[in-house]
Amino acid sequence: MGVSKMHPTETLAEAAHAGLTLFGENRVQEFDAKWRHLHELGVAGAEVHFIGHLQSNKSTRAAEIFSAIDSVDSFRLAERLNDAAGKLGKRLPILLEIKISGEPAKSGIEPDSVELRHLLERMPTLEHLTMHGLMTIAPFDENPETARACFRRLRSLRDTLAREYPGIDFHELSMGMSGDFEIAIEEGSTLVRIGTALFGERAPSQVTMPIAIRDTRDGARFTVRVAPRASRTAITGVFANGPEATLRIALHAPPVEGRANAALVDFLSDVLGTPRSAIEIAGGQRARTKTILVRGRTAAEISALFEKILPTTRKVQS
């Protein structure tokens, strides 16, 4: 699956004309505009799955414009999609999103939850949905064995559920993205979701919220959001993070064996004109969102440098 979210419709159309047949999008409103444009570009038949967290109040439109919903995370959402599909006179393929990682910020059904069993037991009554399997997202961790354990657990869960619910189709295992798809395939993935490694870094965000850079007694601190396996290392925009924003950086390095962290420090050293030894990843060493400490520099100095690249940067008093 080519994950085309946040890329222009022309990119999706070009990939479709080159032979890619399956795409993933994670925002209903964004794809709604693309969906209309695809007809004009002659690729109205492209199969596009919804892969993000779907709010119940957007389920009706999602059922209409998407070929499948790969992230059903509650019985309530399944009911809403079933009703919407029924009114459209269609059978909507779905995957259940399972939260293997346990991370609070991630969506998905807990693998040992009553909710999962309830949904599976009621699945035969949802006549306008066709379930094909499970989906998960591994935690971002530079230790590849973390992703492997996550994928292996989903495969084991799938095997167990397939035995307990023989009337339900569990053949699809959607797991693995640009940073870990090789491991996912080794662990039995039947569908990988590839964005950055296929399309390159996404277009710069148009978010106008400020990036917070704070003075501390140790130096200036700010946060970055990284995307590994990009075609090149670059600042690509900002990432909405509450009332402020986080700097988004695409990294050419893969997220294994510390290479992504090393590449990030090297890049920031070049951008800020600061010795590598003065830059520290003070938090999030194994996460996509990282706290950066720049020793010997003030928030005003860092802000001035970033303002040359992004006009939304500002200093925030600690």
User: Are 137 and 272 in a shared domain?
Assistant: no
Residues whose CB is less than 8 angstroms from the CB of residue 180 and which lie 6 or more positions away in sequence, other chains included? 138, 144, 147, 151, 255
Q: Whose CA is closest to 268, among 296, 285, 292, 246?
A: 292
206 part of a folded domain: no
Neighbours of 138 (CB within 10 A): 26
Report the number of distinct structural domains present in the chain.
2
Res 239: pLDDT: 65
218 part of a folded domain: yes
Q: Whose CA is closest to 244, among 155, 312, 174?
A: 312
Give the domain CATH number at 159: 3.20.20.10
47 part of a folded domain: yes
Which parts of the chain are beta strand (E)? Answer: 2-3, 22-25, 47-50, 68-72, 92-97, 129-135, 172-174, 211-216, 219-227, 234-241, 244-250, 279-283, 289-294, 313-315
- Alpha-carbon distance of 149 to 277, in angstroms, equals 34
Record the tokens describing residue 144, joined without a space.
């590849």
pLDDT category at 303 given cuts 50, 70, 90 is confident
User: Are 182 and 227 in a shared domain?
Assistant: no
205 part of a folded domain: no
204 part of a folded domain: no
The owner of tokens 């992230």 is 71
User: Are 152 and 180 in a shared domain?
Assistant: yes
User: Are 190 and 265 in a shared domain?
Assistant: no
User: Are 269 and 290 in a shared domain?
Assistant: yes
178 part of a folded domain: yes
Res 211: pLDDT: 73
187 part of a folded domain: yes
Report the sign of the C-alpha dihedral through residues 241, 176, 114, 62, in that order: positive
Neighbours of 141 (CB within 10 A): 20
Residue 234, beta-bridge partner list: 250
Res 312: pLDDT: 44
Residue type, 69: I
Give the domain CATH number at 282: 3.30.1200.10
User: Are 240 and 163 in a shared domain?
Assistant: no
Query: CA separation (Å) from 13 to 89, 93, 166, 184, 242?
Result: 27, 23, 39, 27, 33
Tell me: pLDDT of 313 over 70. no
Residue 287, SS3 per DSSP:
coil
Name the average pLDDT for the chain.
Answer: 85
Looking at 199, 220, 242, the residue that finishes a domain is 199
Tell me: pLDDT of 257 over 70. no
Residue 244, beta-bridge partner list: 241
Q: What angle do CA 166, 169, 171 make, to 5 degrees?
A: 115
Averaged pLDDT, 71-97:
96
User: Are 157 and 234 in a shared domain?
Assistant: no
Res 318: pLDDT: 39
Res 242: pLDDT: 56
Helix/strand number for the chain, H first, E second:
10, 14
Q: Whose CA is closest to 142, among 288, 293, 317, 294?
A: 288
pLDDT category at 209 given cuts 50, 70, 90 is very low
User: Are 7 and 154 in a shared domain?
Assistant: yes
Q: Range of 88's domain?
A: 2-199
pLDDT, tens only, 269-289: 888 878 888 999 998 888 888
The proportion of the chain whose per-residue pLDDT surpasses 70, expressed as a percent, equals 89
